[in-house]
Amino acid sequence: MRIERPGSYERLTLQEDVAPEAGPGEVQIEVEAAGVNFADCVVRMGLYESARKYVGWPITPGFEVAGRVASVGAGVVDLRPGDEVLGVTRFGGYSTLVVIPQRQVFRRPASLSAPQAAAIPAVFMTAYFALHELAHPKPGDDLLVHSAAGGVGGALVQLGKLAGCRVVGVVGAAHKVEEARRCGADEVIVRGRDPLWATARRLAPGGYAVILDANGADSLRQSYRHLGSPGKLVVYGFHTMLRTTEGRPSWARLALDWLRTPRFNPLDMTGANRSVLAFNLSYLFERAELLASGMERLLGWFASGELRPPPVSTYAMERVADAHRALESGQTTGKLVLLTGLRS
């Protein structure tokens, strides 16, 4: 699935290409399923900075795949053709065949189907990095998770509960409450129905140890204000700044939200004992040890049943535009996954 230049859904075109061969230390994977993330939509619109830095145009989106090993390059000794695996890609996942470094390939737990496995790496690694590499919550801490019924949000709720925390989830509509509860949220606030910040304050009068926010200008300022002392605000996206019309961003809204985005004062942060942490996993692929240790730990929790995959909605590869449209609507829960049709 290739995007020749930025734009709306019609820019997603299915094309044939020469099959990539596995080089030394690489694994060629026959893809059964590829995860769809909001970041892929941002790539399509031409607004994802790391996509411009590492790939440019044309580009194939996709950060995660699941399938079977087709072949291995020299030096790869612990994987063989036919092994069921999942892989983490820095773009390129919307493909029937991918080649990626062995360090980004992991054996698929027997309990996971290919679509479930493809729904895990990007969202759970994002959640894992936010909590265990940056925030380091302690048992008993109060956590506030925005978008708690989505891919990363649901993963954050599960990992927060696994860490022994009390988790308050925020969702955008009443039909998402059940999914946030399924992930383990102790309390769920429905934005637009409940008074968000008054309810958040009532549920944690002393403030939150960690607030995890990918909304952008709509909530960052209030998220910071509702931290406890000490408290950490973890930022990993700016979804509400990218509201779209027919797959295209509103440049006027984007500019306004950029102006509305808070600039945090280190003097205030020091006096209030509050921190702001931010990251983008696509810039961290050189830190192979972080990726490997995090994924191995996560897959262990999936194998033991301590973590559960998100509910998956599947789309044929040819319907990728429908998947992007659904994701941008803000009405989905869980994870969207493309099926190549090769084996699924």
Domain at 199, CATH number: 3.40.50.720
> 224 and 87 in one domain?
no
State pLDDT tens for residues 165-191. 999 999 999 999 999 999 999 999 999
Tell me 342's DSSP state.
S
Residue 343 has a pLDDT of 64
Give the closest residue to 211 by CA, choosing from 182, 176, 170, 151.
170
Pairing mode, if any, of strands 335-339 and 312-316? Answer: parallel
> 330 and 256 in one domain?
no
Total domains in the chain come to 2
Would 138 be classed as within a structural domain?
A: yes
> 57 and 161 in one domain?
no
State pLDDT tens for residues 298-332. 999 999 999 999 999 999 999 999 999 999 998 89
Pairing mode, if any, of strands 105-107 and 142-145? Answer: unpaired
What's 35's domain CATH number? 3.90.180.10
- Tell me the average pLDDT of the chain: 94
Report CA 228 to chain centroid distance, whole Å. 26
Out of 241, 264, 282, pick the residue that ends a domain. 282
> 188 and 139 in one domain?
yes
Would 181 be classed as within a structural domain?
A: yes
Would 160 be classed as within a structural domain?
A: yes
Separation CA 108–CA 119 (nearest Å): 12
Give the closest residue to 44 by CA, choosing from 17, 9, 14, 95.
9
Residue 344 has a pLDDT of 44
Separation CA 228–CA 25 (nearest Å): 47
Q: How far apart are the first and last CA of the chain?
A: 18
> 32 and 113 in one domain?
yes
State pLDDT tens for residues 205-260. 999 999 999 998 889 999 999 999 999 999 998 887 777 778 888 888 889 888 99
Would 56 be classed as within a structural domain?
A: yes
Averaged pLDDT, 50-61: 95
The helix/strand/coil state of 45 is: helix
> 87 and 213 in one domain?
no
> 276 and 131 in one domain?
yes
Would 302 be classed as within a structural domain?
A: no
Separation CA 313–CA 131 (nearest Å): 26
> 169 and 71 in one domain?
no
For the CA atoms of the chain, what is the radius of gyration?
20
Would 290 be classed as within a structural domain?
A: no
User: What is the H or E stretch that residue 155 is in?
Assistant: helix 151-162
Separation CA 32–CA 45 (nearest Å): 26
Report CA 122 to chain centroid distance, whole Å. 5
Q: Is the dihedral of CA 61, 62, 67, 70 positive or negative?
A: positive
> 316 and 233 in one domain?
no
Would 216 be classed as within a structural domain?
A: yes
CA dist 260 → 208, 214, 215, 263 (Å): 23, 15, 12, 9
> 140 and 47 in one domain?
no
Would 38 be classed as within a structural domain?
A: yes
> 328 and 261 in one domain?
no
Residue 342 has pLDDT above 90, yes or no: no
Residue 108 has a pLDDT of 96
Joined together, the tokens standing for residue 130 give: 């936010």
- Which domain range does residue 51 map to? 2-120+309-339
